[in-house]
Structure 1
Amino acid sequence: MLMFLHGFPEAAWVWDPLLVHFAKPENGGYRCVAPNLRGYERSSAPDDVKAYRAKYLVQDIVALIGIESGPAPLAALVAHDWGGAVAWSLANQHPERLRQLVIINSPHPGPFLKALQSHPAQQAASAYMNFLVQPDAAAHLTAHDFERLFGFLTGEDASLQSLTAQTAAPEAHWLTPAVKAQYREVWQHGLQGGLNYYRASPLRPATATDPGASAVQIPPEALRIEVPTLVLWAQDDVALLPCLTEGLDAHIRELKLVPIEKATHWVLHEQPERVIREIAAFLQPQTGRPPQ
C-alpha cells in the first residue's frame, strides 16, 4: 500500500494523478490512500492549537495505517510540505510501519532547524510563517475570494513568499479555473485548521517577541531516519530553499536526493509526470515485494 500526505493549503485531491497511476496493474497495482489531514476540509478540526502538535498528527497517520494496512508496513509513505513534516516524524518514531519514505519539498527537521537559526536567506524565505500564525491570518487569506491564497500559489503575494528569490517563478499555467474551483471547495470549509500547524510548531524565524526556532533543540536520535528515503526537491521553491537538502545524509541511512529544475513548491502540479517517474524508479528496485 502507498499512502500520500498533503500540505498547506491543499488537501488529498492534489494526489489524484499519482493515485490513478500507481493503482493501475501495469504500474504496480498498489492500494493507494490519501487522507485529508487533521484540520483540512471535512476532517476533524479541533479548536485547541495544542491538538496540532506533531505527536497527535503522527498518531492520526499511524492509526490510519493500522486501519488500512493492518500489521503490514506501507510500501512507501509519500508526502509534501506539512505532510512531509508528519512523515519525517513518523519514519523516525515508527520505522516498522513503512518500508520506504518519499519526501517532496518538505524539510527534514535537522537542516531546517539549523537554517532557521543561522541561514539568513532561509530565515527571510520563512518569514511568511510569522504572518500565518497571527490571529487574523485566516480572515486576510479568505478575503476577496481567497485573493491572497491564490497569490501564494502563483508567487504574486510577496507577504506569503520570499523576497529573496533569485529567479522569477514560472507562470502558474496549472492553476486553471477547474483547479481553482477545487481549491475553493477545500478552503470554504475553513483555513484555521491548516494554519494551526504553523501555530503549534516553534520551527519559524525568531522575532522580537517570539524566540521561534532559536529556542529549539532536537536530540540526534529524534532526527535519525533508518528507512530508505527519496527526497525530491524543486529548485525554484522560494519558501524552502535548496540549502535545506544540505547535510541530509548525516541523518538518513540510505538517501536518494533528486533536484528538480524549473519547478517551484507546487511541483506536484507543475511536473506530475516527473514526480511519478522518480517515485516509480525508487519503488521498483527497493521493495522487491508484491504491492499491497
Structure 2
Amino acid sequence: MITETIDLNGNPFFLRKWGDPSLPPLLMLHGFPEYGGAWADLAPHLSRHFHCIAPDQRGYGQSWTPAGVENYTLSKLVSDMAALIDRTGAPVTVLGHDWGASVAYGLAMFRPELVRRLIIANGVHPAPFQRAMAAGGAQSQASQYINRLRAPDAAAWLSADDFAKLEQFFRHGMGTDWLSDEQVALYRAEWARPGRLDAMLNWYRASPLVVAEPGKPRTDLPGLPADRLRVTCPHLLIWGPEDTALLPKSTAGLEDYAPDLTRVTIAGADHWLHHQKPAEMARAILDWTRTG
C-alpha cells in the first residue's frame, strides 16, 4: 500500500492505493464510521487485478473537513469523487459500502460517463430505501438510530468516555463484532482528529431521507424522480444477509432502477462483509467483472 495527499477541487484528500497503477482503476468508497483504511482487508485480494484507490472521503480521516451541514450534501460528496475520477482517467469501476454506496450511486446516476461498472456492498439506492424507511415497518424500526445520529449532541454523546458509544455502535449496531483491540485503536485515532466526528455525522444530517416512526407511515417524502435515479451501467449488489441495519426490504425493487443488476449473497456475513469475508467478496467481484 502507498499513500498520498492530492488536491481535489482545491481541497486536500488523503488516498490509499494498492496494486499496479497500470491496472484498471477500482475506486473504493467507505462508509460510517470508517475511513479509507477500511478497505485494507479486501484490497490485497483485488490488487493483482485492479489498481485499488481508497480515499478518506470528505470529513473523514486525513481529508478535507469543512464545518457546516451544508457542506455534506450528496452533490458535494459526488463532486469530490468525480474530480478524483477525472484525475484517474474515466470511466472507472466504483465500489461503495454503507454511506460510500450513496456516493457511488450518485456517481452512477448523475455522472454516468465516469462509471464503467458499479459494485455496492450492503448499501442502498435512495428510492427503495426511502420507500422502506417511510413504511413504518421493520426497516423504519431498524433505521431509528439515524435520528439519534442526526441530533445536535450526537458527537459529544458518541465521543464520551473515549468514544465508548461509537465503539459500541460499531461493534454491535449493524451486525456482529469483528474488531480486534488493535483495530479499535486505529479507528479511535481517526475519530479523534479535530472536527472529524461531527463532520462524519453531517452526512446523516444533510441527507433529505425521512425515517418514519415504527407503525406510523410517512407520506411527506423528498422528491425522487425515477428518470433521474437510473443506473445504466452494469451493477453488482453484494449482500451480507445478517445485516441488522439494512434489511432485505431496503433493496426491494432495485431492478426498476438498475436493469443490468446482478445480486450475490455471501452467507454468514452482515453489514461488515468486507472485513468478515474479504476473500469471498473479492471472488464475487472478480467472477462478475470477468463475465461482465
Q: After TM superposition, list the pairs within 5 Å mapping 1:99-114 onto structure 2.
A: 99-114=116-131
Indicate which of 177, 182, 193 corresponds to 2:181: 177
- Alpha-carbon separation, structure 2, partners of 1:153 and 1:234: 16
Relative to the length of structure 2, the TM-score reads 0.86
- The yes-or-no answer on 1:34 pairing with 2:62 is no
Please say if residues 116 and 213 of structure 1, whose CA atoms lie closer than 8 Å, have aligned partners that are also in contact: no
Alpha-carbon distance in 2 for matches of 1:136, 1:85 = 24
* Contact kept in structure 1, 2:235 and 2:260, CA below 8 Å: yes
The 8 Å contact of residues 45 and 278 in structure 2, kept in 1 or not, is answered as no
> Where in structure 2 are the equivalents of 1:31-110 lying within 5 Å?
31-69=51-89, 72-74=90-92, 76-110=93-127
2:274 pairs, out of 259, 268, 271, with 268
Q: 2:154 and 2:210 mapped to 1: Cα distance?
A: 16
- Number of aligned residues: 263
Which TM-score applies when normalising by structure 1?
0.86
> Higher mean Cα deviation, 259-268 or 190-199?
259-268
Please report how far the alpha carbon of residue 213 of structure 1 lies from its aligned counterpart in structure 2 after TM superposition.
7.7
SS in 1 for 2:220: helix
Tell me if structure 2 keeps the 8 A contact 1:2–1:33. yes
37-46 or 260-269, which deviates more: 260-269
Secondary structure of 2:249's partner? helix
The one-letter amino acid paired with 2:46 is F
Deviations, residues 220-250 of structure 1 (Å, cap 9, x unaligned): 1122110000001111111111111211111
Q: Which amino acid aligns with 1:262?
A: G
8 A Cα contact 1:204 1:213, kept in partner: no
Quickly say closer, same or farther: Cα 1:206–1:282, change in 2 above 3 A: same
Q: Distance in 2 between matches of 1:261 and 1:119?
A: 28
Which structure ranks higher in relative contact order (CA pairs < 8 Å, sequence separation ≥ 6)? 1
2:154 pairs with one of 103, 125, 137? 137
In the alignment, which residue of structure 2 is the partner of 1:165? none
Q: CA RMSD in A?
A: 1.7
2:139 aligns with 122
Structure 2 distance, partners of 1:206, 1:99, is 35
1:254 is matched with: 260
Cα contact 1:153–1:266 (8 A) shared by 2: no
* Separation (CA, whole Å) in 1 of partners of 2:28 and 2:197: 21
Contact in 1 for aligned 2:241/2:268 (Cα 8 Å): yes
Q: Residue 202 of structure 1 contacts residue 216 of structure 1 at CA under 8 Å; is this kept in 2? A: yes
- The SS at the match of 1:100 is strand
Residue 200 (structure 2) pairs with residue 194 (structure 1): yes
Change (3 A) 1:213 1:149: farther
2-structure distance, mates of 1:15, 1:150: 19
Distance 1:204 1:14 in 2: 28
